[in-house]
Amino acid sequence: MRVSAKAEYACRAVLELTRYHEKAEVIHIGDIAVRQSIPEKYLVQILLQLQRAGLVKSKRGATGGYALARAPGEISLGDVIRAMDGALIAVESLSDDTNVSDQMSGQHVLKNVWMDVQDRLGEIMDGITFDEISRQAQKSLSMYYI
């Protein structure tokens, strides 16, 4: 089960926006790209996708940029993955329309298994918010200043 670079970039972008959420200002794409080592032109697409999913908002023009659309505690890992991939788990049998003849093969049964796994993975991923992730980042970072 592979997590795409795109999905991880998206998480890093949201994490970066989380750090600036208190200040209620927008950040430029370029700044996010530099600070999180994400190819800027690629990040353009990612942020637009996050925006269409309602996770971030933008301000256009000279003083423009991006900010989170809601509080970091209200944005979960699952939200971001779903915004990028459409669903938490992508597997052939989940997208296929299954017919009765498939009953004989393992396809239909496995479809149910994947749906079950997806639900339970959802419970895990929806329980991890960027508020928590960000706090954990501060914590592990502070260890270097003791």
- Does residue 103 bind its own copies (CB under 8 A)? yes
Question: How remote is the C-alpha of 10 from its chain's centroid?
Answer: 5
From the list its own copies, DNA, none, pick the one residue 65 interacts with, judged by a Cβ distance below 5 to 8 Å according to partner type.
DNA
Binding map of its own copies across residues 53-72, x = CB under 8 A, - = no contact: --------------------
Q: How far apart are CA 105 and CA 117, in angstroms?
A: 20
Count of CA atoms in the C-beta half-sphere (13 A) of 139: 6
- Does residue 115 bind its own copies (CB under 8 A)? no
**Sole window of 17-25, 26-34, 124-132, 136-144 interacting with DNA (rule: CB under 7 A):** 26-34
- What amino acid occupies position 116? D
Min CB(115)–DNA separation in Å: 19
Nearest to 92 by CA among 79, 108, 73, 116: 108
Q: Which is nearer to DNA, 117 or 135 (CB)?
A: 117
Residue 22 contacts residue 46 (beta carbons within 8 Å)? no
Nearest to 76 by CA among 139, 3, 131: 131
**Contacts with DNA, residue ranges (CB under 7 A):** 2, 4-6, 9, 26-30, 39-42, 44-45, 47-48, 51, 58-66
